[in-house]
Structure 1
Amino acid sequence: MRMCSLNKIANLIKNYIFATCCVTLLSTSKCQGISNMSITMPAAVASGESVKMTCTYNLGTDPLYTVKWYKGSKEFFRYVPKELPHTRVFPWPGINVDVSQSGPNQVVLRDVQRYLSDKYRCEVSADAPSFHTKIVSAWLHVVYPPIGRPILSLEKRHYTIGDKLKGNCTSPPSSPPSNVTWYLNDKWMNSSFARSLDDDYEIGRGHKMRTTTVGLELEVNSFRVGKMRIRCVADLYGVFRTSTETILDEEKPRLASILSTFSSSPNDDEVLDEKCSVK
């Protein structure tokens, strides 16, 4: 009897140890692997400037094995903590890596040019025991920002309710061409047409500065205290933005038009003439 009790106790202890190990292994597997990974960079940067690309990630309990950066399918930077030096740059035309500011969480490119617009990827790999790998990506657009403000032209500056308002807005030259948007009293308006034209000069490698002309045609139906604000915005990827606006006045009724509504009828004129003739 005593031996049976001892065997039962031993089995219970074994089962407890086994269950504890399983829970520990499951918890450990959940902690392992790469999570919360993201890439941060501006959507657009002006040609000739520097750009910082940041890659954040959580390795859990795993050590870092390597971080690789790609432009399209071409690797241009690698960080390996087990190697000396930790960083390695792969030479590609036009890609200038600032090694002093690049490391396990970011890479900095200097003097970026228009042709470097592309999808950039960050690839992170964990070391043993998981060897997990994860990739995130984002687009970078290298642009020639708009030069100056949009040119806004309207048929007239005074309107009355029911009038047709017609106008054009031409964005300043940029590459690529800017997106042009109309606002009436801070309310977005649909454009009636749009066209894009090359400007007079090229900016290298076949890229031309271009302007965009957008038309607006609508019926005037409201004023704010006798005023109407028209604004034209030229925008490039939400990073470069310039605008022009003008205030239009409500046209006041003229005195002649008011008096004309009270003009005499032909019959009244005849009665007046009769009175004069009797006299």
Structure 2
Amino acid sequence: MRSAARYRDPRSTLSASLLCVLLTAVTGVHGLSNVSIDIPLAVATGTTVNMSCRYDLQSDMLYTVKWYKGSEFFRYVPKEMPPIAVFGDLGAKVETNQSDANRVVLKDVQPNHTGKYRCEVSGDSPSFNTVMVAGYMHVASLPNGDPQLRIEKTRYAVGDTVRGNCTVPSGNPPANVTWTVNGTPVNSSFTLKIVDKNDNQQQMTIAGLDFETMQDNFRNGILHIVCQANVFHLYQRTADVLLKEERPRLASVLGTRESSYIGNAAKNTAEYFYITAITTLLLCSLR
């Protein structure tokens, strides 16, 4: 026979569980929810970065907030004194006097700090609800200088091919280059990423331009060519050049003052046809 002290009626356990559910529904008591992370998509090398982890504890009490990049580098436990603990090389970058249960501030970030960051929030007993969220941050070494644009000539006629290149100083990640001709996008003919001999983590970008001009390309006899270099929203520089249309001189049929020039080739051709016509007339008359 089971002892009364050890026996528990399953119906009473079920009733208690239902009662808890009903109380939660009636009183609106809930646990940890709405956890989100806010970190910048990209920052420049050497800058200070603010990261935040937002959450709604509702009926829970906060047990701990932990931050990871691979391994844990920051922990906040309100019941401990001091509440903040940091770990590893990344933990040494934490500004502890500016960080708290919702925010972590990192100083002097470097390219090796690029990666996925995770925030883990846990409620206190009895639930110990735990939620983890993540975000990715790039730390960019920006190019030191402006893009340089080179074009073969300064004048082009309709039908000519415009060739040139745009060179952007080294960076990590390397810059993206786009072209426009009088505001119209034009694809690069090639793009090269060349490793910097002084820093193999950085690359110089060279983008080529190669397109055949048409009458519609010129605006008032001008081609405005723009090379734009971008590294996220952190580096946005342009280089541009104005090219003039080279217009051929037309031979005048009527010999007007506005267009009276006839080149040597045109003169020779006219003289040839004139002599041929006279010779033909003389031969016909002799017959």
- The alpha-carbon distance between structure 1 residues 145 and 94, as it changes in their structure 2 partners (threshold 3 A), is farther
| Distance (Å, rounded) in 2 between the aligned partners of 1:106 and 1:98 | 10
> May I ask how many residue pairs the two structures share in their alignment?
250
Query: Residue 119 of structure 1: which of 116, 120, 129 is its match?
Result: 116
| Distance (Å, rounded) in 2 between the aligned partners of 1:238 and 1:166 | 29
Q: Which amino acid aligns with 1:71?
A: K
| Distance (Å, rounded) in 1 between the aligned partners of 2:240 and 2:221 | 17
1:256 CA drift (Å): 6.6
| Distance (Å, rounded) in 2 between the aligned partners of 1:218 and 1:95 | 53
Does the alignment pair 1:231 with 2:226? yes
Structure 1 partner of 2:61: 63
Q: Which amino acid aligns with 2:272?
A: P
Using the aligned pairs only, state the percent identity. Answer: 43
Query: Residue 141 of structure 1: which of 138, 143, 146 is its match?
Result: 138
Residue 211 of structure 1 aligns to a residue in which SS? Answer: strand
1:271 CA drift (Å): 6.6
Does the alignment pair 1:220 with 2:213? yes
- The CA deviation string for residues 124-181 of structure 1, in whole angstroms up to 9 with x for no partner, is 2223454322222222222321010111111112223322121111111212322222
| Distance (Å, rounded) in 1 between the aligned partners of 2:168 and 2:29 | 53
CA-based RMSD: 3.1
Name the TM-score, length of structure 1 as normaliser: 0.76
| Distance (Å, rounded) in 1 between the aligned partners of 2:131 and 2:39 | 18
- The CA deviation string for residues 54-108 of structure 1, in whole angstroms up to 9 with x for no partner, is 2222333333222111112x11111122222221111336841100111111111
Q: Say which is worse superposed, 126-135 or 104-113, in terms of deviation.
A: 126-135
Query: Residue 190 of structure 2: which of 181, 190, 193 is its match?
Result: 193
Does the alignment pair 1:160 with 2:151? no
| Distance (Å, rounded) in 2 between the aligned partners of 1:94 and 1:29 | 39
Alignment of 1:5-154 (within 5 A): 25-26=24-25, 31-35=30-34, 37-72=35-70, 74-92=71-89, 95-154=92-151
Query: Residue 254 of structure 1: which of 249, 254, 266 is its match?
Result: 249
1:194 CA drift (Å): 1.5
1:113 CA drift (Å): 2.2
Q: Which amino acid aligns with 1:32?
A: G
- The alpha-carbon distance between structure 1 residues 209 and 25, as it changes in their structure 2 partners (threshold 3 A), is closer
- The CA deviation string for residues 169-215 of structure 1, in whole angstroms up to 9 with x for no partner, is 1111212322222222333322121111123423xxxx443211111
Name the TM-score, length of structure 2 as normaliser: 0.74
Q: Say which is worse superposed, 144-153 or 239-248, in terms of deviation.
A: 239-248
Structure 2 alignment gaps of length 5 or more: 1-17, 253-258, 280-287
Larger Rg over CA atoms: 2
| Distance (Å, rounded) in 2 between the aligned partners of 1:30 and 1:164 | 72
Structure 2 partner of 1:6: none
| Distance (Å, rounded) in 1 between the aligned partners of 2:184 and 2:58 | 48
Q: Say which is worse superposed, 181-190 or 97-106, in terms of deviation.
A: 181-190
| Distance (Å, rounded) in 2 between the aligned partners of 1:106 and 1:124 | 12
- The alpha-carbon distance between structure 1 residues 121 and 93, as it changes in their structure 2 partners (threshold 3 A), is closer
Structure 2 partner of 1:242: 237
Structure 1 alignment gaps of length 5 or more: 1-18, 274-279
